[in-house]
Each structure stands twice: as C-alpha cells, then as structure tokens.
Amino acid sequence: MRFEKNRREVLEQDPMKRYRRATGITLSLLRHRWVRALPAFVLALVMLGLSIGAGKAQTAAQGHGEHIYLMRGAFNVFSLGMDDLATRLQRMGYNVSLENYLAWSRIVDEAAAEYKSGRTRSIILIGHSSGATAVTAVAARLGELGVPVKLAVGFDPTTRVFASGQVDRYINYYAPGGMGTIVDRGKDFKGVLQNVSTGGDPSVGHFNIDKSRAIHDKVIEEIRAAIARPSRAPAPATTRAAAPTAPATRTAAPAPRPAAPVARTAYGHQDGMQ
C-alpha cells in the first residue's frame, strides 16, 4: 500500500501528466526515446567537430613549422570571423589553433614550449576585439621569454596598447570612430608596426571587421610572406661588462665659434626654450 501511495505521488508530480490534465493535449512526441537522447546526440556532434579540428591541426603541424593562434573576443559570439579565417587556413594546410582571448596565458606556455623544442619555427598571432588586445599581451610575454613572433595581426582592439616583444611585423586593422583603436609603438619595439584604417567605410564596424573577406585575403598574404622569411634567431641574454678605460690624453680645446642668429618658430618662441 505504501509503495502504491508513493507511486501515485510521483505520478502526480510528473509535469507531463499535469500538463495533459490541464490542457488535454498529449505530447507523446517528447516521450519518444530518440527525442530524450537529443541532447547527448548534439553533444556528440560538438565533440566530433572539436576532434576533427584538432586532427587537422596535428596533421598540418607535421608538414609545416608554423603555428597560427587565433583568439576570439568576449563571449565567443562576436568574433565568428576568426572561425571562418581558421577554417580557410586549415584547408590550406596550416597548423591552426582557435581560442578565446581568456586562454592567452596558456597560448604563451604552449607557443614557448613548441618554439624552444624546435617543433615550431614561426609563431603567428591573430585576434579580434579583446582577442586583438590579447595579441599584444601574448607577444609581450613571449618576448620576455626570448621567443620571436613572425606576425601579429589585430582586428579592432578595444584597448589602446603598446606593441612590444620580438615581433617582426605587427598589423592592426581598425574601424575609426567605433569601439576599436590603433596600436602604439612601445619604446623597445624594433619590428614593423602598421595601423590600417578601414577608411571610414560605414559598412565595416567593430562587429563585422573580423568577417571581412577582403581583410582575410590580405592577412593570408601576410602569413605566406611571414613564413617565407628566414626565422629570427632568439635574442641572446643581455650581460653587462665594464667598459675598457682609455688612457688619459689631453687635447686642445676648440676655438669658440661666433654666435649664430637665433631662429624663431611660427609661435615666436626661440628654439631651445621650453
């Protein structure tokens, strides 16, 4: 009796039974076994897609000495152009990894380990929005580790940052007047830095600059050129040595020159004055 009572209580709590009682509608479709298994089926497809992508990257790594890291921006929904570019690059046989910008520190560890082991000769960084800002952070940290970056590409970074690290070529595409900004040159940056504006095209903004086919084509050309360039040797460790002291010698002081006339700027201040 107690078992039967508990069974009735469970059935009374069944939301499907309560729904049928209230509406008179029988949702027998949701009772089918294949519908109940749908979430697991979708998850299996997602995992299959991830494994296929990893397999392509692994195969490409065996044929080339490059590793191209692409970083999406926030929430993984506003930077789907990075997915399109990654797919094109994978089909061309390149070794590609696609990550969210929050994984930037893991990208640093992986890229540094691959380069120092000799598995990777050319590191390329590409990102959109917050991912473009992370490109600068990854390049800077790799520079501290003595790891060069062949090419860095930003799509409309949301934070104004300074290019640094051992980057051969840094190209930043930005849409003026929007959320994105340019990249400034750091004081120790020795590579080529180029900020490329979309020219005020109203059809190109922060949320679709990463999907521009024309910009993708230019980036692919830059990738080909970067991989074709000879690899840069890691920077040697800096050591300080005492400068040799020259023997003391006395030379005659040069004769004083006559004072030159003071030049004036357009604002009427004398040159050399603050």
The residues with which 125 forms a beta bridge, in sequence order, are: 69, 152
pLDDT given at position 110: 98
Apex 188 CA angle, 183 and 193, nearest 5: 35
Whether residue 206 is contained in a domain is answered as yes
Q: Are residues 28 and 132 in the same domain?
A: no
What's the structural domain count of the chain?
A: 2
Task: Say if residue 77 is in the same domain as residue 164.
Answer: yes
For the stretch 46-64, pLDDT in tens is: 333 333 343 334 334 444 7
pLDDT greater at residue 205 or residue 252? 205
pLDDT digits (tens, 9 = 90+) for 154-209: 999 999 999 999 999 999 999 999 999 999 999 999 999 999 999 989 999 999 99
Is 270 contained in some domain? no
The CATH number assigned to the domain holding 157 equals: 3.40.50.1820
CA–CA gap between residue 21 and residue 24 (Å, rounded): 6
The residue ranges of DSSP E strands in the chain, in sequence order, are 66-72, 96-100, 122-128, 149-155, 162-163, 167-174, 184-185, 192-197
**Domain presence at residue 76:** yes
User: If you search the block for the tokens 């397999």, which residue do you land on?
Assistant: 55
Q: Are residues 81 and 216 both part of a single domain?
A: yes
Same domain membership, residue 138 and residue 13: no
The answer to the question of residue 74 being in a domain is: yes
Tell me: the pLDDT tens digits for 92-146? 999 999 999 999 999 999 999 999 999 999 999 999 999 999 999 999 999 999 9
Is the residue at 205 inside a domain? yes
Asked whether residue 68 is domain-assigned, the answer is yes
Identify the three-state secondary structure at position 173. Answer: strand
Q: Are residues 110 and 8 in the same domain?
A: no
Q: Same structural domain for residues 100 and 165? A: yes
Residues 214 and 88 reside in one and the same domain: yes
Is 48 contained in some domain?
A: no
72/128 same-domain check: yes
| Residue 152 near residue 135, CB atoms below 8 Å | yes
Residues 8 and 76 in one domain: no
pTM of the model: 0.66
Q: Are residues 80 and 207 in the same domain?
A: yes
Q: Please determine, for residue 274, whether its predicted confidence score (pLDDT) is greater than 60.
A: no
Higher pLDDT, 4 or 152: 152
Do 116 and 179 fall into the same domain? yes
In a domain, 88, yes or no: yes
Domain interval for residue 29:
2-35
Of 187, 204, 228, the residue at which a domain comes to its end is: 228
* Banded model confidence at residue 253, pLDDT cuts 50, 70, 90: very low
